[in-house]
Structure formats: C-alpha cells, structure tokens
Structure 1
Amino acid sequence: MKADFFGELLRIDKFLSSVNLVKRRTVAQDMVKSGVVFINGVQAKPSKDVKVGDTIEIRYLKGAKRYRVLKIPVTKTVPKSAKDEYVEELQ
C-alpha cells in the first residue's frame, strides 16, 4: 500500500496526540521522556521527528503496541474515525 506524503515531518509528541494515539500532547511528552516510545527500534527523544514509513512502538506495562506511519497530518488533530488513514496497527 502506498502512503501519501506531504513532504513534512512532525515531532513525535505532536504526532501521537494528532492521530489520537494518546489523548493529550502533555501525556505524549511524558511518555517520550519516560522512555516508553520507540521509533524504528530506537528510543525516541522529545525532539525526534516522524515521517511516513516509520514504525512507532509504545511499550505499556502489559505489553506493547506497534504502528506504521502512513500519512503525516496537516491539521492539529484528525477525527478519531480517520485514525486508520494515518497509522496502521502492526502485530
């Protein structure tokens, strides 16, 4: 599947909140600072940008969830119903 790419990068904390993987950007920032967010297998830093094709892993106490970035949002938030256009949940 080919993903759309607007030629933009987006900070990991903004991306997580924009595509509704977390409820608030401050929560996303705390998760990144706590070391539970990984981009392409590398622990993310707060200033790290994501791009189309990147794999994001969020490690929770009871397991981890992995996502592939399909599209970078151009608006501050996307509707919850459109989440699947921006990320694909991996097994």
Structure 2
Amino acid sequence: MPEKEKLRIDKYLWAIRVFKTRTLASDACKAGRVKLDTKNIKPSYEVKIGDTYQVSKGPDRKIIRVTGLLENRVDAKKAVDYYLDITPVEQTQAFKSMFQAPILKRDRGTGRPTKADRREIDDLKDNFFDTEDEE
C-alpha cells in the first residue's frame, strides 16, 4: 500500500479498523470522542506519524500512536502495522472487569424458574454487588 503524506483523521481511523465506517469515525470526531493531547479534533484534522490519539468507542477507550499512514482500508492483520496500541493494560482490564456480572444460564427445556429458583437468582445478584467494606 502506498503511504500518503496528508490523511484525514476520520479516514485513518476507518482504515486501521477502529471504526466500521468512515461516517462513524467522522461522527466520533464531531462528538469529541477523538482527542489529541486532551483537545477535541475535527474529522478533517491531518494525521501525522508519531501523534498519539485517545479514542473512545462505547465503553472502550484506546490510546493509539500513529506509526504509518494508511489511505485505504485493509484487513486487520495488515492494519496493526500502521498504529501502536499504547493503552495501559491495567486501565483496560479494570474497566472491563467493572462491568462483568455473573451470567445465569438455565438448561434448555427446564421451563420457567420456580419461585424458589427466582429467590436463588435474586440472592446471587444481590450478593454479587455487595462488598464487605459497606458494613
């Protein structure tokens, strides 16, 4: 892939597969979810090699450093060569673990839960979010 000298941030984020469409990348820039040194940037901002961007996409927050400019969208294996994900591991794991809840599954064909089953499920949910520090 030939590298370009000038490239818009929305096109770059789309090309390295951070966003599924270029419109979503552009909307994220307009909404202030793409930042350069804590400053919001417009979709037409020119990407430079070595810049570090903070991208918020739903619950995920990534910090990426540009290592190469990519004009067209490529497969995920090649796209990784054009950026460096420098998001701290602690930050990523802590954020994801905050939203993990027990997944309650019932065997297929067992029907609706009985009143006793419902009470057990409610107790599990209540005890999961309680902490010992509150007492």
Name the TM-score, length of structure 1 as normaliser.
Answer: 0.82
Which of residues 15, 39, 42 is equivalent to 2:39? 42
Which of residues 13, 17, 22 is equivalent to 2:19? 22
Structure 1 pair 22–7 and aligned structure 2 pair: CA distance change class (3 A): closer
CA contact (8 A) 1:40 1:54 kept: no
Q: Which residue of 2 aligns with 1:85?
A: 81
Structure 1 pair 35–88 and aligned structure 2 pair: CA distance change class (3 A): same
Letter in 2 for 1:54: D
Q: CA deviation at 1:79?
A: 1.6
From the two aligned structures, give the one with the greater strand fraction: 1
CA contact (8 A) 1:69 1:87 kept: yes
Which of residues 63, 72, 76 is equivalent to 1:76? 72
Distance across 2 between alignment mates of 1:61 and 1:23: 13
Instruction: Give the secondary structure class of the aligned counterpart of 1:10.
Output: coil
**What RMSD, in angstroms, separates the aligned Cα atoms of the two structures?**
1.7
Q: Gaps (5+ residues) in structure 1? A: 1-5
Percent same amino acid among aligned pairs? 33
Distance across 2 between alignment mates of 1:76 and 1:63: 24
Which structure's relative contact order is higher, taking Cα pairs within 8 Å and 6+ residues apart?
1
Q: Gaps (5+ residues) in structure 2? A: 89-135
Q: Which residue of 2 aligns with 1:3?
A: none
Distance across 2 between alignment mates of 1:13 and 1:7: 14
Structure with larger Rg = 2
Regions of 4+ moved over 4 Å: none
